[in-house]
Chains A and B, each alone.
Chain A
């Protein structure tokens, strides 16, 4: 079974631009979660999508948004980029979503650099 894939792997943008990141979950997984990882803040939860519906949302501004398609693939969008948005963005999929016993399978991440 193919793992979680994320595209692109690396991205360089300038302040004020917007960016779209893509995540393809493991086949059969219906939940996709997004995380931002920075040296200062560590791993921060952005949001979770399950069956095309946003089920949970972290404490991020409205510039961060996402969606999930009927094939469970997910995209996240960041508008009006700021320098502080430079981070590794990780996507994780699981069978039934966030929860006590649900292992999250992570993709390799997209490294976003904002100049």
Chain B
């Protein structure tokens, strides 16, 4: 299967803590996108990291990419209750996006 695997499946942290979630694929990674989904709603694009990049920052988000290990990680620093959502990685290339199964993050105030 080309589908990505995310780890952990669920994560619960206190407000102010950092949250790290990982994503891996069995197939090669082209460019990696991260999306957020609030409960039962559409996905919102967070960040894209290109295959020739190793790390990228956007606000409180930090994404790393290791193409040799076919994996990526998303770090959310100083988490807030509003960060509670599911987070998905998506492998993007010239074919349709292939999403991971998601990490469900709960940030407790």
Which positions in A face B, CB cutoff 8 Å? Answer: 4, 33, 35, 42-43, 45, 48, 56, 58, 88, 90, 92, 98-109, 111
Q: Mind listing 9 A-B residue pairs with CB under 8 Å?
A: A33-B97, A42-B3, A43-B102, A100-B31, A100-B50, A101-B50, A103-B45, A104-B97, A106-B35
Tell whether, in the assembled complex, residue B42 and residue A103 are in contact, meaning their CB atoms are under 8 Å apart: no
Which positions 73-94 of chain B face chain A at CB distance < 8 Å? 88, 92-94
Which positions in B face A, CB cutoff 8 Å? Answer: 3, 30-31, 33, 35, 40-45, 48, 50, 88, 92-102
Residues of A within 8 A of B35 (CB): 106
A42-B101, A100-B31, A101-B48 given; A108·B42 CB < 8 A: yes
The complex places the Cα of A43 from the Cα of B33 at a distance, in Å, of 14
Residues of B within 8 A of A58 (CB): 96
A42-B3, A42-B102, A43-B88 given; A98·B44 CB < 8 A: no
Tell whether, in the assembled complex, residue A98 and residue B40 are in contact, meaning their CB atoms are under 8 Å apart: no
Residues of A within 8 A of B100 (CB): 42
Residues of B within 8 A of A4 (CB): 42
A106-B44, A108-B42 given; A99·B99 CB < 8 A: no
Which residue on B lies nearest to A102, using beta carbons?
B92
